[in-house]
Amino acid sequence: MERVVALVLIGAALAIPADAKRTVLQKKQAARTQFENAERMREALNGRPAAERGKRDYNRLIDTYRSVYYTSPTSNRADASAVAVAELLAEMGRQFNDEKALRASIGQYEFLRREYPGSRYRVQALFTIAQIYKDDLNDAAEARATFQDFLKHYPHSELADDARAGIKELDQQAKEAEKAKEKPAPKQGKQEAPAAVEAKRRALVTGIRHWSTPDYTRVAIDLQDEVQYEAGRIPNPDRVYFDLHNTHLSSTLAGKSFDVEDGFLHRIRIAQYQRGETRVVLELDEVAEYSAFLLPNPYRLIIDVHGKHPQKMAKAAPAKPGAKPESAVAKTAPPVEITKKEPLGDRKRDSAAKIDAVPEKPTREPTFGELSERVAKLNPPDPEAKSATADTAGVPAVKPAKEVSANSSKRGKSASNKGMEPPAGHQAKPTANGERSLIRALGLKIGRIVVDAGHGGHDTGTIGPNGLLEKDLVLDVALRLGKLLETRMGAEVVYTRDDDTFIPLETRTAVANQSQADLFISVHANSSGDPGARGVETYYLNFTTSADALEVAARENAVSEKSIHELQDLVKKIALKDKIEESREFAVDVQQALYNGLASRGLRNRGVKKAPFIVLIGANMPSILAEISFVSNPADAKRLKTPEYRQKIAEALYRGTAKYVSGLSGLKVASKVNKPETSSTHPLSAPSSE
């Protein structure tokens, strides 16, 4: 008996290592999932106006990041999570003027340095502690001591010059304070020093996010207020820089850089170029063009960059996790130093000039009016020959693909249609004005479609008189439409959201580009102060002078008309004639199908319109936004609550999409669609800010 017990105990002891190993792997997987969830939550929080962010939101996100290293302290995301907690605590401290949160942020950075001494964030963490003492807590003694400690441990760091500059600035402030003591006190109330007043007026740069594919990158720079900016390019090696005027860099971003593993963008660096000016540098490879525009509420600067040779780059062997692509290793320049001494445009190039010397001040950008005239010449008024009231009867059926890949994620499901023949290719038809766009001339086909349900999460959209929420309505219709596109057409569908999640507008477009989609359709519902207003309308991206179109765009964008019109750099991107023409064709087909599919007494065909919707800006494919009904109309709101009417809307959207696809060269077999290689398995996950 004792022998049997001993054998059992020995067997159990031998089994422990294997079980423990499995447990560790499971914990690491759970930590990775929690980290991805936290990244999505942070993305949503960044997309909300600062006034709508509460301490509860920050604490919930902080707890999610903390769960990563609590679950698996050895996870490769543990140190990144600790940094994220520190950054969020500092952000919360500034947002709510909470000294306790700021000191907790310092404690979190110290925790990172103590528990993860091998982390690549440890150097930046010590520097950031000094910045928080200096800029946020106004503790000159601790700031000086921390800067000196930094120089003692990391004298050759790329941040060493910034640390010396920090000490120099503290010395200057101390001298100014001594001089102020010698002067007689002002008779009236306490007055702040001019420098302090000026600093308070500066917009704070709080964060950087990015999304990349082999031929496209979108960068979002989060700001606390509107800014003026200047952009320029420096060759050999190719870099693009943005100088943000009258700004102050958050201590958590000071001297920070972001390594990017996808496509042609190697690295993003940000630093306080000089007092009151922040510089963002994008280290690039074979860049063709870039555009930028400012979005309000909350403010963020969006930068879109496109590569010259997407096919060549797409074929490159994927890099191993955590390593740069081979091309990046071969072509990436050494870190470019951002100097603070000379003002913009005052440097001269010579043999001793630094690699980041700024060229002459960029030439004057065309005004909005000048660029608008150029766009107008490229885009004449919509022809009357193809009226939005035309009948959609006889829309050619689009046969589903024979085989569809089943390896799609939750947000990119594909239907299985075995036994059905793929559509035969055919010559594309001319557009409504009798021309053949490049898309049609090259015989390009449709394979992947992004379906975007508007609003979500805290952003309810319009609320109907019966309590119907636009966000719920359009999500249901979007999912129904996606199912029809999968099962009937055989297309691969990617959803920007498939649940009640808030997705920032700039992220939706980035998801479409990241997915290398061929079509983008955003589903919304309309509203009006007139409860009797009814009808359907479809938009494509362009500038317009229509007051009604601008009113709808302003409501969906949640920005003012002035802010939309001031997107001057963006006009260059919008002026791509082929994309606009194809988007208009797509919009006309969908509008026809919507009106005919929902036709009832009193329903108004509001037609096809053009407007500067932010959700369509920067999309690389034909893109439209459909307003499927007026939620504000009591009678229609009642219908919109029924599954039958929602299905009717989805069917109409499908028929319009199918008609547009039938006018091209056909449908690409979904199983042959090359899936984009991204750093994340989740379409909505922006790369971590590591």
pLDDT (mean) for 438-461: 82
Torsion of CA 477, 629, 583, 572, to 10 degrees: -110
Pairwise CA distance, residues 392 & 646, whole Å? 19
- DSSP letter assigned to residue 212: E
Q: Which of 90-99, 198-207, 467-476, 494-503 has the lowest mean pLDDT?
A: 198-207
Sign of CA dihedral 534, 535, 538, 539: negative
Contacts of 364-371 with CB under 8 Å at 24 or more apart are 365/568, 365/569, 366/568, 367/568, 368/565, 368/566, 368/568, 368/571, 371/568, 371/571, 371/572, 371/575
Q: Provide, rounded to the nearest whole percent, the portion of the chain with pLDDT above 70.
A: 64
Pairwise CA distance, residues 679 & 690, whole Å? 13
For 669, the token pair is 């077999």
Name residue, tokens 């001319």. 430
The answer, yes or no, to whether residue 90 has pLDDT greater than 80, is: yes
Instruction: Provide the whole-model pTM.
Output: 0.61
Pairwise CA distance, residues 475 & 90, whole Å? 35
For 180, the token pair is 């102020």
For 113, the token pair is 């340095």
C-alpha distances (whole Å) from 426 to each of 84, 429, 664 are 52, 9, 8
Pairwise CA distance, residues 167 & 145, whole Å? 9
For 601, the token pair is 């007494």
* Best-predicted range by mean pLDDT (12-16, 156-160, 420-424, 647-651): 647-651
Q: Where are the domains of the chain?
A: 23-173, 202-341, 402-672
Q: What angle do CA 499, 512, 641 make, to 5 degrees?
A: 35
Q: Cβ of 127: how many Cβ atoms within 10 Å?
A: 23
For 457, the token pair is 């999460």
* Best-predicted range by mean pLDDT (408-417, 469-478, 512-521): 469-478
Confidence of residue 6 (pLDDT cuts 50, 70, 90): low
Pairwise CA distance, residues 684 & 690, whole Å? 17
Give the model's pLDDT for residue 19: 45
Q: Report the Cα 529 to chain-centroid distance in Å.
A: 32
Give the model's pLDDT for residue 322: 34
C-alpha distances (whole Å) from 597 to each of 189, 265, 588, 624, 653 are 70, 45, 14, 18, 9
The answer, yes or no, to whether residue 468 has pLDDT greater than 80, is: yes
Pairwise CA distance, residues 188 & 643, whole Å? 69
Give the model's pLDDT for residue 291: 84
Q: Identify the CA nearest to 84 among candidates 55, 57, 64, 100.
A: 64
Which fold does the domain 23-173 belong to in CATH? 1.25.40
Q: What is the pLDDT of residues 555-576, one digit of tens each?
A: 565 433 333 334 434 444 444 5
Pairwise CA distance, residues 109 & 124, whole Å? 9
Contact of 263 with 215, CB cutoff 8 Å: yes
Name residue, tokens 């930590």. 31
CB-neighbour burial class of residue 290 (10 A; exposed 0-12, middle 13-18, buried 19+): buried
Q: Which CATH architecture has domain 202-341?
A: Sandwich (2.60)
C-alpha distances (whole Å) from 20 to each of 14, 29, 43, 67, 585 are 11, 14, 35, 20, 60
Q: What is the pLDDT of residues 238-257, one digit of tens each?
A: 889 999 999 988 877 877 78
pLDDT (mean) for 157-182: 86
Q: Report the Cα 452 to chain-centroid distance in Å.
A: 14
Pairwise CA distance, residues 443 & 148, whole Å? 64
The answer, yes or no, to whether residue 475 has pLDDT greater than 60, is: yes
Domain 402-672 has what CATH class?
alpha beta
